[in-house]
A and B are shown apart, each in its own frame.
Chain A
Amino acid sequence: MSGKSKSLARVKSGVVEVKSKFDAEYRRWALDKTTIEKFDDFYQLVERRHHLADIPFTLCYTDPHGDLLPINNDENFVKAMSTAAPVVRLIVQRKGEDQGEFNGYGTLNKSKKFGLPGPLSAQKPKPRLQISQPQDFRRVSAIIDVDIVPETYRRVKLHKHGSDKPLGFYIRDGTSVRVTPHGLEKVPGIFISRLVPGGLAESTGLLAVNDEVLEVNGIEVFGKSLDQVTDMMVANSHNLIITVKPANQRNNAVRKGSLSTSVGSGHSAGSSTDDKRELLNEKGARESSYSNDAYHNDETLEEEESDEEEDIIRDVVVTKTNGSVPSSEQDGEQEEQEEENEAEEDQTNSKTDQDSAVYTL
């Protein structure tokens, strides 16, 4: 243990020992964690160390359990730096040579165990299928909160990012039938009326014409006019989460009974609407921090939910280049830090309006 005290001291001081391998080339070098915080910066550093200027490459490291894990965004970079003490074992591979890219990352031995080395090597001369790398993709949509949204509903998140692609859908007024204590009742509802060909909504395949819109970013649309709902969607367009009741109920995600009971337990078999409302409240109770005053409760519920979204939004802004979603708070702070930096920057170079810092708020 005493032998490691030196490197531990290094860790504390923010300097990490790195052992990197590219083909047959090994290098040992030190990395100051405080100076390099971003994956991009790290990538460039490795590029310089190994002189890989024109060669696209991927990065992996072996974690303490012996698993080979990728480094391709800020989050897993930070993870790698913090966990792989005392030495970060880095494996640099040409893009496309990394088995993990195709077969999934995991234990190093995995490919040896389950892979078929013979045929694989035999196929090698054959022209490789051109498959894009994960980092070349951008997430455009996701079904989220599957565990808390009732089976008949679907909560879809559309990632607009900076793409030019329009959201591309229309909504309309309509009538939906709800189950209430008085029996079936017809209530006004908002429906998707049209999808613009080539738009984001159409390309995801998660929204369809005649799907009923129930919530926009966690806020129920019931009782709101078409224009109001439109405005809400537009205001949230950079990070739109809509909960729909699909017109076509055949493609619903099938959930295990245990899940639904764990969520819906304690409630008698109510109608789907009630069910949903309960779920929302439960969620609210979990998340919202105070006040039993109904009004405030609603407010805070909304606030909290949207704050959560806000964090995501920020992340999207921060990690625009690699498009994965790191976890919340830390980044929020980071963002604020940035704002401040920019603010200061702004004060210094203020006169030329085009150059002056523009902060995103």
Chain B
Amino acid sequence: MLKFARTRFKRGATDAEREKLKQELFTFKKTVEHGFPHRPSAVAFDPEMKLLAIGTRSGLIKIYGQPGVEFSARHSVESQIIRLFFLPNEGRLISLLDDNSLHLWEVNIKDGKSVLEEVKDFSLEGRLKKISVCCLPSTQEHLFLGTEGGNIYLLDVKTFQLLDHIIYQDVVMQNVPDDYKANPGAVEAIAEHPTDSNKLLIGYNRGLIVLWDNKSCNAEQTYVAPQVPPQLESLAWHRSGDQFMSAHADGSYCIWNSADASKPAQNATIPYGPFPCKAINKIQWLTTKSEPFIAFSGGMPRASYGDRHCVTVMQGKTHVVFDFTSRVVDFFTIGDTDRECEWDDPHTLVVLAEEELVLMDLQSEGWPTFRMPYLSSLHSSAITCSAVQTNVPDQLWDKIVAAGDAQMAANHTSREWPIDGGSVLSETPTSKDLLLTGHEDGSVRFWDVSTPALRLLYKLDTKAYFSTHDDSEVVAAADTGEEDWPPFRKVGTFDPYSDDPRLGVQKIMLCPWSGTLVLAGTAGQVVLMDMNTEEAEVDLEVTTVNIVNDRDGFVWKGHDSLTPRSTTVKVPAGFQAKHLVQCTPPASVTALANHSENQLLAIGTSHGFSIFDYVQKKVILTKCTLNPNDLSATGESSMSRRKSLKKSLRESIRRLRKRGSRSTPSKKEAKPRVEAVPTTDLDAPEKGEEAAAPVQRLVEARQPDGDMASMVRCLVFAETFLREGASAGLSLWAGTNSGGIFVYSVTMPEADKREEEDVVAELGKEVQLKHRAPVVALSVMDGSSVPLPDPMDVKHERADAPNMSGSHTVVIASEEQFKVFTLPRLKEKTKYKLTAKEGVRVRKVGFTQYRSRSDEKVVEQHLSVVTNVGDFLVFSVPQLRRQVQHSCMRKEDINGITSTIFTRDGEAFFLLSPSELQRCTLSARVAVEPLCMLELPEGARPAPPPEPEPEPEAAAEAEGEGEKAEEEKPASVPETLPSVPAIVVETSPPNPVEDETEEVAAAAEEVAATEKPESEHEAEGVLADIQKTLENTSILDSTADESKDSVGDITLDEIKDYIASKEGPDENSADKPAVEEDADN
């Protein structure tokens, strides 16, 4: 008892200090999203402030200025952004969402930097009021909202409320000849007259175009084509205002004189006719001193090129069809901002495609593209692996940059990036950080990640070294060529089609000092490369390593290895291959280690591992990890795995179907109340399956020789003590998928005999973890419990020499446990059983050092871990005590979890989407994040009369008074947000199933309205009631068990139901929603 008391006291005292230190060491912050936003759906540009905004289908807005200037914000609802408008020069933005709501956003200064925040929103309701098109006139006073119903509403930008003034379709139609009196359809296009801001050109879906004078409320002209016109798609004014262009669904466009309503000035042209063409979605007519530009998207001949995603630009005789690999979302041009200027003078064409953004320089000869300083498509080919190298030495960095510049100079413009708004506040980074991404097509891209703007430095392609079977096809394609018309030009880098999946890069190792790059691929190929500043001809030497040499019965049933090119390959300056190691069987390389000081390479596959000496070009060791009794089974592993994937896919589809077919009849039999409550998506599968095929999991011990047991998961070179009494020596540690660890001691010959004498590797130790979980990572720690540094870093004084005096330890992280063993005796020191205690598994491990944010000298070594449920954990070593835990990803986000990589300093990268890399930091000290400012000109935002907030303040803040901003913000925020009782605010997630009857909805609103004044007391009362009802029903009702809803998160529907049941004359009224919902179905 005394002992307990003592320990408790001791810990109590240190705990407080420890907690304080933890604050200094750790944090968790998602700092920046590198790459290209996933599934963009809208784009806008502020020509005054030079800002670009991209909206996505998930409701995310990202604003970019000059490299490093980046703001982003997300709508509170996950809904597609249809359109974005900048209020030029105001630092404000309006977004239109798919749910027919409009939101006003402002870039304001908070805590000394600019952030994007939502200020107001407005929602238009009613089916006929579905907004089909918006137009922001140059006055920026109000927004024209064209609707499906044909009326045009005006939204006052200042108050963000609708004006009473409505341009009714009937009024517009008054002067239309009777033949055209048929319903003209939705408003398809609104274009402001370029010289007279009172006049609007309104285009309706069925082809009717009207010039509307908004001042006199009169349709000035009604343009009607001689024939029945095809559906209208887009309208564009000529700068003069004398003429305009209309684009149509049949791929044609017409030019009209604004004064002559009877017929087009020029007959309809179908640029890619005469065969049927697809619609021209958007058209622009831009004047220059010489001939005008006409730019439009779509319009391709349906049969031959209907699948192309194109933007056509024509200027006089020059005619280019920019051909994109993904759907064109929108395009616009950047031109002269001066309104008084006689010409539009576009200099840049910006095209937003689904997977990339491309800027074309229209001023330079040949319209070359811009090199992207950010917003690069990370996923030009799918990312298969990534590696990060912080603090790259200048010498190598400069060489990479030079090689990259030479590479890019060829087809990029030299003009400055035209989107350069805002100013960067963060200091120029001192360390040069490199991110390497390996891709499915065998390429490796080198990215600069020292700043928030992810810039492509250099691209390396290993494809050149292998002869793939499409070589001949390429030649053939070149022979036949494409027809000259339309004049296509491929632009952009997004190319999801891999020539040969075997080329995929699986592991990357870069030694920043020697410039040695090792790339390992899907077909067991390992390419050793060196940095060379000169172009060279490479004749690739090949060494084959047979990993299953000693296993006779082994049969490989997977893919063949790649064939290296027999001829010499001419490669430009940059990384050039000098040796190829080909593993047999050619299974994917699963682990790689490079000891560049001793020039040794360790390669692991599903079957074993090998050490290769690249001085003597000799294989030193091969070790097969296959179970000798079970050769046949593992030989198939790659195949059987695929099979099982297919199988599981099939099963899940079946399950889905089953659920689908089940849910329909179950709804028809009027179910009790709780059942009728539409559940959230998450609950749905469970509910459906509970009765039929419940989701169940077999609890079974891990099979010792399960699938892929022999796979080598990690390889580590370490200079440490393997034998008692012996001095430290080089060793190789290999961990397998079944919890096996092999330790080889590697004896190097004398330095002067390195070329002649063999390197010797012999088995020193073998460990079998009893729990047999895959060994995810391991690291040897020196006498001061610091992971052994890279010897090259020590050599160049980037790292301290390891402490070889104290006793070394090895940290082994398996999927289920962490263990620390002392060396050389391998006695267990500490352990932590993560899975047994918490039911989560280790996915990725980083050995990281955390430096205190306040004191540079305080450094701690920790284990940073990401688990299969998407949490980040930090454990101290060797104590293995948990320091922090942060949940970060959803557990379903397998790509994100498995793609996670850690830097040495506690930063992490993971794939947010195929095209985006999320960067986050666990360290309180190290963070690369966009720190930027948007300076608004004096009085940029007009002070709105009705509400004396936040604009004037915002303008004041914009001048950089950070402190003042902090004081005033809290006061103004509550006013902007409607103060509604907690229940109502929190319980209105969009519910896809929800299709409530008017009655119930109205009832809900009524209650919500009555609740408003009474505030929380009332709300609580209602809550309690609801609880009671819920409980009653759930207890009485056996089927109710299936619903997971607890009182903790009542949905809006439940409240509505509750209200309905209260109001209804009898208890049965509770069934109403269910019944009516069925009727709907």
The chain A residues found within 8 Å of chain B, CB to CB, are 160, 166-175, 177, 182-188, 193-194, 196, 216-217, 219, 221, 224-238, 240, 289-293, 296, 299, 302, 306, 336, 339-340, 343-344, 346-347, 350-351, 353, 356-361
| Residue from A171, A188, A234 in contact with B696 in the complex, judged by beta carbons closer than 8 Å | A171
Is B115 an interface position by the 8 A CB rule?
no
Contacts of B766 in A (CB 8 A): 346, 350, 353, 356-358
Would you call A175 and B8 a contact (CB within 8 A)? no
Q: In the A-B complex, list the 10 residue pairs whose CB atoms are closest, starting with the nearest.
A: A228-B839, A237-B701, A235-B835, A232-B839, A230-B697, A290-B7, A235-B836, A170-B696, A290-B8, A172-B696
Chain A nearest CB from B699 CB (Å) reads: 4
Contacts of B1064 in A (CB 8 A): none
Q: How far is the CA of A193 from the CA of B686 in the complex (A)?
A: 14
Is B827 an interface position by the 8 A CB rule?
yes
Would you call B1047 and A225 a contact (CB within 8 A)? no
Contacts of B1031 in A (CB 8 A): 183-186
Would you call B695 and A173 a contact (CB within 8 A)? yes
Contacts of A230 in B (CB 8 A): 697, 699, 839
Q: How far is the CA of A233 from the CA of B699 in the complex (A)?
A: 7
Q: How far is the CA of A126 from the CA of B594 in the complex (A)?
A: 77
Q: How far is the CA of A184 from the CA of B1041 in the complex (A)?
A: 13
| Residue from A170, A184, A217 in contact with B698 in the complex, judged by beta carbons closer than 8 Å | A170
Main secondary structure of the interface of A (DSSP, over half): mixed
Contacts of A187 in B (CB 8 A): 1046
Would you call A229 and B839 a contact (CB within 8 A)? yes
Which stretch (B234-242, B397-405, B768-776, B971-979) binds chain A?
B768-776
Would you call B828 and A170 a contact (CB within 8 A)? no
Would you call A235 and B833 a contact (CB within 8 A)? yes
Q: How far is the CA of A346 from the CA of B1040 in the complex (A)?
A: 60
Which B-chain residue is minimally distant from A313 (CB atoms)?
B770
A177-B1035, A289-B4 are contacts. A231–B839 as well, Cβ < 8 Å?
A: yes
Would you call B1046 and A186 a contact (CB within 8 A)? yes
User: What string of 1s and 0s marks CB contacts (under 8 Å) between B692-704 and chain A?
Assistant: 0011111111100
Is B412 an interface position by the 8 A CB rule?
no
Contacts of A172 in B (CB 8 A): 694-697
Q: How far is the CA of A231 from the CA of B3 in the complex (A)?
A: 36
Q: How far is the CA of A276 from the CA of B833 in the complex (A)?
A: 24
A175-B1041, A184-B1035, A232-B837 are contacts. A170–B768 as well, Cβ < 8 Å?
A: no
Would you call B1027 and A182 a contact (CB within 8 A)? yes
Q: How far is the CA of A175 from the CA of B1043 in the complex (A)?
A: 8
Give 20 pairs: A residue, B residue, CB < 8 Å, sorted on A. Answer: A170-B696, A171-B696, A173-B695, A177-B1034, A184-B1031, A185-B1031, A185-B1047, A186-B1046, A217-B836, A219-B838, A227-B839, A230-B699, A233-B699, A235-B773, A235-B836, A290-B7, A290-B11, A340-B827, A343-B826, A361-B828
Is B15 an interface position by the 8 A CB rule?
yes
Would you call A296 and B11 a contact (CB within 8 A)? yes
Chain A nearest CB from B818 CB (Å) reads: 12
Would you call A186 and B701 a contact (CB within 8 A)? no
Contacts of B835 in A (CB 8 A): 231-232, 234-235
Would you call B1041 and A186 a contact (CB within 8 A)? yes
Would you call B700 and A299 a contact (CB within 8 A)? no
Residue among B764, B767, B836 facing the most chain A CB atoms (10 A cut-off): B836
Contacts of A360 in B (CB 8 A): 768, 770
Contacts of B649 in A (CB 8 A): none
Would you call A237 and B825 a contact (CB within 8 A)? no
Is B816 an interface position by the 8 A CB rule?
yes
Would you call B15 and A293 a contact (CB within 8 A)? yes
How many of chain B's residues touch chain A, expressed as a range? 35 or more
Chain A nearest CB from B566 CB (Å) reads: 39
Q: How far is the CA of A359 from the CA of B826 in the complex (A)?
A: 10
Q: How far is the CA of A84 from the CA of B765 in the complex (A)?
A: 44
Q: How far is the CA of A351 from the CA of B745 in the complex (A)?
A: 11
Is B636 an interface position by the 8 A CB rule?
no
Is B840 an interface position by the 8 A CB rule?
yes
Known contacts A175-B1041, A351-B762, then 14 further A-B pairs from the complex at CB < 8 Å, ordered by chain A residue: A170-B698, A171-B699, A175-B1042, A186-B1040, A225-B891, A227-B839, A227-B891, A228-B840, A231-B868, A232-B838, A233-B699, A235-B833, A289-B3, A343-B827
Contacts of B773 in A (CB 8 A): 235
Chain A nearest CB from B1052 CB (Å) reads: 19
Q: How far is the CA of A359 from the CA of B767 in the complex (A)?
A: 6
Q: How far is the CA of A342 from the CA of B83 in the complex (A)?
A: 70
User: What string of 1s and 0s marks CB contacts (under 8 Å) between B1-21 and chain A?
Assistant: 001100110111001000000
Would you call B825 and A160 a contact (CB within 8 A)? no
Residue among A177, A186, A188 facing the most chain B CB atoms (10 A cut-off): A186
| Residue from A167, A229, A232, A356 in contact with B700 in the complex, judged by beta carbons closer than 8 Å | A167
A226-B697, A296-B15, A361-B767 are contacts. A306–B8 as well, Cβ < 8 Å?
A: no
User: What string of 1s and 0s marks CB contacts (under 8 Å) between B657-671 and chain A?
Assistant: 000000000000000
Contacts of B816 in A (CB 8 A): 235
Contacts of A306 in B (CB 8 A): 833, 836-837
Would you call B768 and A358 a contact (CB within 8 A)? yes
Q: How far is the CA of A359 from the CA of B770 in the complex (A)?
A: 8
Would you call B891 and A235 a contact (CB within 8 A)? no
Q: How far is the CA of A172 from the CA of B765 in the complex (A)?
A: 42
| Residue from B12, B694, B768, B824 in contact with A292 in the complex, judged by beta carbons closer than 8 Å | B12
A228-B869, A346-B765, A360-B768 are contacts. A167–B701 as well, Cβ < 8 Å?
A: yes
